[in-house]
Amino acid sequence: LRDSFDELATDISGDIDLVVRTSIDEGGDRINRLPFPEEVLDLLTDVPGVRNVWPTVQAWNVVPLYIDEDGDLKAIGTSGGAPQFGFNVTPPDGSDYGNTTNVSEGSQLFLTDGRLPSRTESVLDPATVGEFALDNKTADDFGFEIGETYTVSAPGGNRQFVLVGTANFGDPDEDKNFGANLSLFDEETTQEIANKVGLYDEISIYLEDGADEAATMGQIQERLDLATDEFRAVLAGLPEDQQIQLSAFGQTELEVVTAETKIAEDQSDFDQFIDIISSVLLAFAIIAVVVSAFIINNTFSIVIGQRVRELALLRALGATGRQISRSVKLEAVVIGVVATALGLVAGYLLSTLLVWVLVNIGFGDLPGSIPVRPRTIAAASIVGVGATLLSAIGPSRRVRKIPPVAALRDDVRLTPTGMRRRLIVGSAVALAGIGALAAGMTIELSTRAVLTAIGGGALAAFMGVYLLSPAVTRPVAMVLGWPIRKVYRIPGRLATDNARRAPRRTAATAAALTIGLALVSLAAVVSDSIKATFLSTLDQSVEADLFVYPGTFNPQAGFSAELGSDLQNLAAEQPDLVESAMTMRWTMGGVKIGGDFKDLVAAELEILAEHMNIQVIEGSESGAGTNGLLVHVDPAGDLGLAVGDPVPIDF
């Protein structure tokens, strides 16, 4: 999966050499990268060594609408939460490339049918019918037909477009878009639907063969810095209200980076998602290994206990205790090797099943094959054989004590170790675990310290219970076995006696079940706790009845301001149906205050109290005005802010 996303990151950048964009400070959210004036393009075309430039304009949450089988108007969707993009694909020379031909150097799109969209009239006029194209998979999945007119919802509003073509992303023969919906427009139309008229998000640069990349980057950066200084000088001469409107652009810097840098950043963004899946799978793997270790240890103890006479006979024939112990360890190694081989095969089959599930929940066809690297085989072998060997060490040490004369007895068995030391160690570990749990839940600590205390305490408490469990196995088995003996009589009594006869074996067998039940209980308690906390927070802080938001994996995508206006008009026209409607916009890490990135929410403060109970501690939201700001009590205290203080903000 990681290789597939790495391949996607490479496909996104294509064959570009350099990228011009606005810079962000380290730690900022790259989704919040600001666009820049399109005049920057003119600075790059005549730089020595530059062969071609390709400007890119992109919009989130661009959603074509279609008519379903019941005749209802529906929005296309991605069950896996993949993004829905709109961007420009007009070739630099304006020509129309043929089928299965690369649309442009910058787009990595290949036409499969029809043609590229061209400019009609400005779609800022709702009466204009524009042109657009779709990725081939989206068109096939939702039945879009070339030549038909469809409504497309975008940040700039809902507009009518004629579908003029379909294309594959990344490859002429297959769509490698991972289930994303790609809507394609000409450059000016993309700027209009994205609310970025006169702006670009990026400019891709292609160098001449043999051009000095470092020297070319230096010349480009000099021109960008000069243009930025000139813009700030012009901004300083504008009226104050215009300076406020353009202040965000005045604070930005332009930068030029290599394609390798951009690819690495995209791969890092994808890796954040992959790391979540990897962490979950790793947690399950660790749990499986721990549970298996208990079962293996118990199995070896039982098997060796049944082979005491056989091992004693070997001692009688001259084998030493060390040799007997080595033979048991060798058996464990052989079993571990066989189990590892079977596990690798089963793991590969499960990986294939996981890929199938991801494809069917909306990820699209995942490019590439499932990699089986030597390091994967080595790691699996070390863990599999190592866990088996470690689990067999205890039983292998006990066989050293088998005397040769044991071969002459029928009732011989392994001598159990004393319980005293086990009880002392188990009590100490259990008390330490309980103490750590209590400290994590009662003492004011950092988040990391709390998680460490609770996690370590839970693990120590479990190990303590496991060590102490043989001491209570007999009475517990007697009590729990009472109803079984009453119902099943002789079989029930045999089962109870079997559990009471070997308390260590019973405790070890029950340990695996204990882990499973503990995990189920943990999941149930945590999920219910989070749900209850979330619902309680909503109940206390939210006054609104309904929310409208885009159904995409990017929670910052937003939707058109037209829809917000329509909902507010509905409240004005039908107050009996809608009492009040408030529009909001928010971004994660979108502003920098006091050197740290902060989340920002834009809302209509005059009616905020009608929709949310924000519990204003000091000041009032009603008198904030257009330049007002409400700050949460925690960062306000950290920054030493009071009501009326100016707050410098970097966007």
The mean pLDDT of the chain is 79
Among 158, 174, 195, the domain-final residue is: 195
Q: Are residues 232 and 107 in the same domain?
A: no
Count of domains in the chain?
4
Structural domain contains residue 208: yes
User: Mean pLDDT, to the nearest integer, of 282-293?
Assistant: 77
Contacts 24+ apart (CB under 8 A), 508-512: 508/294, 508/297, 508/298, 508/301, 509/294, 509/295, 509/298, 510/469, 511/294, 511/466, 511/469, 512/291, 512/294, 512/295
Q: Are residues 156 and 181 in the same domain?
A: yes
Q: What DSSP letter does each residue of 275-336 carry, written as one string?
A: HHHHHHHHHHHHHHHHHHHHHHHHHHHHHHHHTHHHHHHHHHTT--HHHHHHHHHHHHHHHH
Q: Are residues 253 and 358 in the same domain?
A: no
| C-alpha pair distances (Å), 268 with each of 17, 150, 428 | 19, 36, 44
CATH of the domain at 266: 3.30.70
Structural domain contains residue 551: no
Q: Are residues 50 and 161 in the same domain?
A: no
Letter for the amino acid at 24?
A: I
DSSP classification of residue 102: B
Q: What DSSP letter does each residue of 469-486 carry, written as one string?
A: HHHHHHHHHHHHHHHHHH
Burial readout 306-335 (b: 16 or more C-beta within 10 A, e: otherwise): ebbeebbbbbeeebeeeebbeebbebbeeb
Q: Are residues 67 and 166 in the same domain?
A: yes
Structural domain contains residue 440: yes
Task: Give the pair of three-digit tokens for residue 265.
Answer: 């950043």
Structural domain contains residue 100: yes
Q: Are residues 188 and 87 in the same domain?
A: yes
DSSP classification of residue 363: I
Q: Are residues 36 and 100 in the same domain?
A: no
Q: What DSSP letter does each residue of 527-591 carry, written as one string?
A: HHHHHHHHHHHHHHHB--S------SS-TT----HHHHHHHHHHHHH-TTT-S----EEEEEEEE
The residue with tokens 């159990």 is: 416
pLDDT for residue 557: 64
Helix (H) or strand (E) holding 153: strand 149-154
| C-alpha pair distances (Å), 229 with each of 202, 222, 236, 650 | 19, 11, 11, 17
Q: Are residues 350 and 373 in the same domain?
A: yes
Structural domain contains residue 401: yes
Structural domain contains residue 499: yes
- In the predicted model, is pLDDT for residue 150 greater than 90? yes
Among 490, 510, 527, the domain-final residue is: 527
Contact 147, 53 (CB under 8 A): no
Domain range spanning residue 314? 307-415
**330-370, pLDDT tens digit by residue?**
988 999 899 989 988 988 888 888 777 766 655 555 555 67
Structural domain contains residue 25: yes
Q: Are residues 457 and 362 in the same domain?
A: no
Q: Which residues contact 69 (CB under 8 A, 6 or more apart)?
A: none
Among 507, 527, 547, the domain-final residue is: 527
Q: Are residues 215 and 173 in the same domain?
A: no
Picking from 1, 555, 62, the residue whose alpha carbon sits closest to that of residue 274 is: 1
- What's the pLDDT band for 379 if we cut at 50, 70, 90? confident
Higher pLDDT, 75 or 273: 75
Q: Is 201 helix (H, G, I), strand (E, B) or coil?
A: coil
Q: Are residues 43 and 99 in the same domain?
A: no
For residue 21, list its beta bridge partners. Answer: 255
Helix (H) or strand (E) holding 376: helix 374-398
Query: Counting beta carbons within 10 angstroms of the beta carbon of residue 444, is it exposed (0 to 12), middle (13 to 18) or buried (19 or more)?
Result: exposed
**398-436, pLDDT tens digit by residue?**
777 777 766 556 655 666 666 788 788 888 988 998 898
**31-75, pLDDT tens digit by residue?**
667 888 888 888 888 889 888 888 889 888 888 998 887 877 888
CA–CA separation, 523 and 509 (whole Å)? 23
Q: Are residues 65 and 191 in the same domain?
A: yes
Percent of the chain exceeding pLDDT 90 equals 7
Structural domain contains residue 577: no
